[in-house]
Structure formats: C-alpha cells, structure tokens
Amino acid sequence: MRQLLILLLSALCCLSASAEVYTYIDKEGNRVFTDQPPRGNAQKLNLAPPNAMPNALPNGKGQLIMPPPLYMPAAPSGPPAYQLLRIIVPEPDATVRANDGALIVSATSDPALLPGHLYRLLLDGKPMGEPGRSPVFPLNNVERGTHQLSVEIIDTLGRTIEQTPNQPFHMFRVSVAEASDLDTSHPLSAASR
C-alpha cells in the first residue's frame, strides 16, 4: 500500500511539472503566475523544456560513472591545441643515480592543460600509472640501464592529442657485485685494495 501511495504521489509531481502556466495583472497591479487562470485577461506562457541531468551510476569506489555521449565529437580540424609539450626532468640523455630506482619525471605544456585533457607518461613505450591532470610523475624501482621516456596529452576517450618524442635517460643502480666491492665498514678498507 505504501509503495502504491509513493507511486501515485510521484506521478502527480510529474503531471504538475508539465502543467500550463498563465500570467495576469491583479487589481493591485501585481503580476501573478498561476496554472488556473481567472476568466478574463490571463495570457498563456510558452515555457522552455526543463533542464535534465544525465543519469550517473556509482562504480563502487565512491565515484560516479557518466553514460557515454550520444554522439562522438569530431576531432578538431585546425592548428594543434598545444604549441609546446616537453619533458623538463630528467634532461635528455641524463644519468640518474638512484639505488632504489626512484625517479621523478616532470613535463610542461603551453598552453596549460585544457579541460577534458590528461597527461600520461610512457616508459619504454608502456603507460605508467593512470592518466591525470598533473605533469609530475613519480616512478619507483626503474631497472638499471637506458630507457625511453615520453609524455602524451590524451582526451577523455584515450585518444592522443600531443606526444613528446622519445627521450633517453640512463638509470644507474649499484649492483650486488659492485656493492660487495665497496666495504664501507672500515674507512681504510677501500683505500688498501
């Protein structure tokens, strides 16, 4: 019974939202808006349709998932949106010395990141982490050797808008063999060899 009452009330709300609206001037000179016009000089108003928000579904992580657009926007035809996209840190062909393989990559773009665009870091051609609005990318446990870095600007559909050329860097990590040669327990042990 309770569900039936709720259903009827919601149906009445929907009907009242689509009612006709009239306006007239009362005896005191005030403009009145109503859905029940008095006899006489009331005018019917033509209203625009109400605003509607698309349904969003929760994804279980506290975020809302928007439904896909009804149409695919055409790719912009014209000059590129970005005049500059480059990696600032590390510099090209730099040697990074980090025994834990940690590295922070920083990029810049001109103009700044446009709405609906995201940065994505590629290490040796593979995406690292999730795309985001920050041009700073922390990397951990990068293997020793020479690697290629590249930064992309992508749209919300994952299409590449701009991409830097591959930029090499060299990760230097002390190996186990090199570490055993460096006995740091005694200050003169390295000098006596």
Contact 166, 147 (CB under 8 A): no
In whole angstroms, give the CA distance from residue 174 to residue 177.
8
| CATH code for the structural domain at 84-174 | 2.60.40.10
DSSP 37: P
The amino acid at 98: A
- Span 29-81, pLDDT tens digits: 888 878 877 777 788 777 777 666 656 666 666 666 666 665 555 555 555 67
Contact 89, 106 (CB under 8 A): yes
Least confident window among 111-115, 159-163, 177-181, 183-187 = 183-187
Q: Which tokens belong to 114?
A: 């446009």
For residue 46, what pLDDT is reported? 76
> What does the domain layout of the chain look like in residue ranges?
84-174
Mean pLDDT, the chain, rounded, equals: 77
| Long-range pairs for 20-28: beta carbons < 8 A, 24 or more residues apart | 20/44, 20/45, 21/45, 21/47
In whole angstroms, give the CA distance from residue 82 to residue 191.
55
Contact 119, 135 (CB under 8 A): yes
In whole angstroms, give the CA distance from residue 130 to residue 44.
54
H helix or E strand, kind and range, residue 179? helix 176-181
3-class DSSP state of 176: helix
